Structure formats: C-alpha cells, structure tokens
Structure 1
Amino acid sequence: MSDPDRADPVKVALSAFAQDVEAQARTLGFCAFGVASAVPDAALGARLDAWLAAGMHGTMGWMEQRAHQRRSPQDLWPDARSVIALGMSYAPALDPLRLADEAQVGRISVYAQGADYHDGLKKALKHLARWIVTEGERRGLADAVGVKVFTDTAPVLEKPLAAAAGLGWQGKHTNVVSREHGSWLFLGEIYTTLDLAPSAPARDRCGSCRACQDACPTDAFPAPYRLDARRCVSYLTIEHKGPVPEDLRPGLGNRIYGCDDCLAVCPWNKFAKVAHTMKAFLPRAELTAPDLADLLTLDDTSFRALFSGSPIKRIGRNRFVRNCLYAAGNSGEAGLSAQVAPLRDDADPVVADAARWAWEKLGGGRSE
C-alpha cells in the first residue's frame, strides 16, 4: 500500500513555489492572488457566445473578432497550463457618488483620476513574471518556464478567471467583488506553462442584494449577472464613438468618463481599505471635480496636455467634449450656454450634434 503521507514531490515543489510567488507578488503591491486552470470551460465559452449573439457588446467589434481566443487561456496560448490571477486595489478615499448633485462639475470614474493604471500594473506583472521564470528554472521546476502577461488589453476573460482563482466572485454588476477589497480591484494575469494547483474558487455572496442593479442610471442590467453594454454609461462615454441615443443622454447625468455607481453602492465596500499601493493611482486634484465650463473649451492640444499620462487621453478630445456637452445639457446651468454655443459649429459632427442638444436643453441661451 502507498503511504498517504508521502506526497508527490513535484506537486510539493510546485505548491511551495506558488506560495513564494504570492509572497513576491505582495511585495510588488498586489493584494489579491490566486491560481486558475488554463483548460477550457465549456459553460463559460457558451455564456460568452450567447452574450455576443445577443449583441450586448455594442460596437466593441474586437470582442467578437477574437472571441475564439477569449473563450479560454488555452485557446489564446495552447501551452498554458495555469493562470496566476492578481488584483491590485484602487479603493478610493472619497465617496465616488459625492458629486452626483454638483451639476456644474464633471464626474470621472475613480480609476481614471490618476495615471493610466495599465502602465503601473503591467510593469509589476512583468517584474513578477521575470521572477517566476528565473526562480522556476533555478529550482528545476522546468527546463524552460513559459509566461505571458496580460492586463485588460488582450482577449482574456479576466473577471471569470479572477473568480475561478478565488480573488472574488462576479457580482450581479458582473464585476469582481472581494470580501477584503470590495469592488475596487485592478486585475492582471500571468499565463504560465507550469502546472500549478488551482486555488479554491470564491463563493457568490451577493445573496438577495440588488443595490447595484437599482443604482444603474440607464438600466443596463436586463437581469442580475448580465450587462447590456449598449446601455452602460462606461461603454457610452468611453467605447462608443458616435452620438449617444437621445433617450439615454439624461441618464448620463454629469458623468463624463465612466461610471462608478454600481460599484460604489456595493455593501462589501465597507471592508475595503483606502488603497496605497501605487502613488500613480492617487487622483490628480484637477480631475476630482473638474468644472464643465473649463472642459468645454478644450481643443486637441489642451486636451492632450491636460490628460497626458491618463487613460482618458485614449478617447480623444472629440469624444470627451461630446460627453461634457451631454453633462452640460443635463446640468440645467444656463450659464454654460456661453461655452456650449460655439461648439454647435464644431468640425466634428458628433460634437456639434451634442452641442445643439445641450443648447436646447439649456433653453437656447435664454437668461435665467
């Protein structure tokens, strides 16, 4: 009979290595760590296919074009055996909803008020990946350790992988919720050829709560755990390039880049501590409550200067000013008409359309 106390030495070595990887990750600022299998999950692939077939990805054609690689890690990289899932907190010090009634200012999503998180997160991921390769080969875990690093910009189902790795569960708002960090986690992944033991997946703890569903200003959730991006404020203000449908414009309120509402109301946030992971994540003073009057005067040069190093820069001046015009139209602040008026003749037709809409909402320039 085999001795149950004599474990497979390879598995023991890999288990010890995974613990050391986690310790190394925490020195780099990651607060959440777990391992998921890289093998395909048929149920997950089917959910992705159904969501795309329903058109809920809107104009994000890249999601459909590379869906075959997005279904599982091995569909993207056949040599992958494990996924090291990592989270870095960006829990805010201030209530993201505090400016809801401040009509003269624009609301920018918490994650975009500092430097572009992709840069800092990817730097830390690459540092950890290099350590995994060097240390894994030094320990003889493999003749050559393969790794690939991802964060947000590749065909990777980040949130399901994070849930499978135990970082948290996908809440009814479809984002990852952590018992320790609430809804405020940046996610990154390291695919590896090492066959690491998967972590225990997180248990769904949403229960009967529907706070995130009720908070959505544009009714973007046709059902719990299901998001229709075509109605989501984050999609409309960031990914959508054309005019926002008129029936959805009032729901944007004064949100000019992204939306935190469904995240901010999650009860699990009460356990999240203010993030001090990276100074780059801290909000820039000029982006915490920017005046719409100032933003409406931005040309391309001043836009690029203001948002240098910011994720906002990638949507360009035209889309950003379009968003600010919707916020102006929703504000009821007739004083903004002076900034809105010249934009009715903007060279960009989408900006001009938004300006004409805002002009009408503000009373066509009539004094208060």
Structure 2
Amino acid sequence: MDVVSASAESPVTYPANTVPEALLVLADGTVLRGFAFGAFGTSIGEVIFNTGMTGYQEVMTDPSYNGQLITFTYPELGNTGVNSDDKEADVPQIRGVIAREISPCHSNWRSEEDLETWLKKHGVVGIRGIDTRALVRHLREVGAMNGAISNDGTSASNLLAKVKKAPSMEGLNLAETVSTNSPYTWKALTHTFFDQRLQNPPQRPYRVVAIDFGIKRAILERLVAHGCEMTILPAYSTLDMIMAYEPEGIFLSNGPGDPATVISGITLAKELIKKGNLPIFGICMGHQILGLAFGGKTFKLSYGHRGLNHPCGRPGQVEITSQNHGFAIQADSLPNNEVEVTHLNLNDRTVAAFSHRSLPIFGVQYHPEASPGPHDADHHFGRFVSMMRRRRI
C-alpha cells in the first residue's frame, strides 16, 4: 500500500496549514498522512476496522476494543455528538480513532458534548482525512496489525520502530485490565424504549452473577429488563466467591484480548460446568472461554468481525447480528458428544453459537444486546431466563 496524503483525497474541513499533521504507521511499513484531532501525543495498538453506520460512542466505550486503534468505515463521525446515556463504560476504551472526516458541528436533542472535545478530555488520539476505504482494503488483504497514530512530530521511522516492539494481540490478556476490581450490583434499565422491562417480569428476580471480562452496560441493562438481579464480580473470581451469592445463573461477559490467555476464567468455567444444573450463558469472550473450558481451541481471525450486519443462523433461521471480536472457536475442536454448534456466521462459517447437549449451558459469539445494531438476537436473553425458570420448578 502506498503512502496516502490527506491533501491528495478530497478537500478537508479546515486549511491544512491550521491543523497539525498526524501520521498513521502500520507494522508492515505503510504510512498514511492525515490531520490531527482529539488528544495530543502518540498511541500504539492493533489497527482494526468497524463497518457500522451508527453507534460510534458505544463502540469507542466498549471494553472489548481496549488496546485497539479503530478505523470507522462510515465516512463522517461526530455529527450527533456524545451523551451520557450511550456509553458502555465510564470512559473511552479505544487507544485511537481513524476517520475519513470529523463533523465540525454536532446536532442531536440528546447531545451533551462534541466528539473531539470528549476525546481530548479522555486522552484519545485521532487521525482524520485519510482514505479509510483504502486502509480497510489493505487490512482485509494482509490482516489486522499493530500501528501507531501520532501528532506530536515523531518521525515515521521512529514510530515504526516502536510499533514493531509492541506486543501482538495474540497472546495478550487484557480482560483482567478492564475488569472491575470489586463486586457491585446493577439494577438500571436503559432510557431507550426497546430496552425497557418486559411486560411480564418474574415475581422474584433471578439472581445472576456476571463475571466481568470487559462487560458492556447494555448487556447488564438487557438482563435486568428480562428479570435478572445482577451482581458483577471481577475476572479473577473463584468458585467460592461466586457461590457465596447463591446464584441461579452465571453470565460470562465479553472482553478484549486473546481468550486463551484468560486462564483464571477458563479454570473457573470448568468448575462451574461441573455444577451440572447451574445455567451458564456466555457472550463473545465469555462464549470463547466456555468453548475453551469444554476442551476446544480458539484462533485469531485475519481481520475480525466488527459491525452491525453480520448474518448468523441455522437452517431456516437467520439473524442479522452485531459483532466485535478478533478471535473465534475452532469448530472441530469442540467435543461433539457434549457440545452442539447451533449457529454459524454465514459469511465465513465460523462458530457463532453453541450449546451443551444436556446441561443448561450455551454461548453466543455475537452481541444479542445489539448496542448499537439490530434486535434479531434478543431472544437469547429469554432463553437464559427460561433455563433459570425451569431450575426453580
């Protein structure tokens, strides 16, 4: 891929001489020149892309993106600003933003702040004005890789040297970095209409313990809407710590990094499985950790699945899903006598969901809370609740 200059593309919002230059340097030596926005400095991480046309705030605050520089394929960001309701964590989790263009103004009745001010406040470095379509094509051809965004005058050669020393996402345990340090409860619902409480909630809420590998708030809100009383515990929690809460169900959350490195979580999942009749539900990394606990293996996808329009399903049933993951379960590594693959990603036939053949345990690779995204997969929360209901009888 050749060096790309912002000035060689279409006109930018401001004259080039009034906006600091920024560089994006990839591990393979590719250098892209654009303009700075957000915080001042240099940030290094895995360069990936998201194909969603909406929800940039939810994406930027999703802990599963920790350690990454995210390329947005949608051509303009920031037009609706940011607000306090749409965040999946207290602060942005990404290390940097790569955008075609940033809107110079924002307009939305829910907006509380403009995107660039928010990014500056939280120290997130950005680059705009580059051809993100060309960058995405490059990543699709050669795979996601480490890179650096810099607007502080560091030379491309020095940035490349730093990038080559950065650890690969494969083999990196980030779950314990983003996990809560202490237990807490969650009872809140989202303000949006779709996620309000179901019409016929249980008379007594289901006690659910969630293991936080990087959990999204939208997932907690959706579980509460389905009648769950949530207690969230750290990623390093032990079986005794969990059982002290007398849970009726266990939820294993999404999270960043390589699932195979989260040894404490895999060990815990094995112990929970041995309980036999305790319902367990895993999403994204939680799904992968369950697969590893059953003896399966995971592998790194070339450029991952990150977007709002991934078709998944089984014969006769298709769900359009929201996804964000760079690793997947190796289908033939799962014990067929114990586990059934129930859903496939219909783009590349990777494992999208599985369930145990006799125990109330299942995992879903995509995000049924769909924040942002379609609501096709919300029924998975209902399935988890129905498992706990049957256990009460």
Alignment TM class, shorter chain as reference: under 0.3
| Larger helix fraction of residues | 1
Q: Which has the larger radius of gyration?
A: 1
Larger RCO (alpha carbons 8 Å, 6+ apart): 1
- TM-score, normalized by length of structure 1? 0.25
| Larger strand fraction of residues | 2
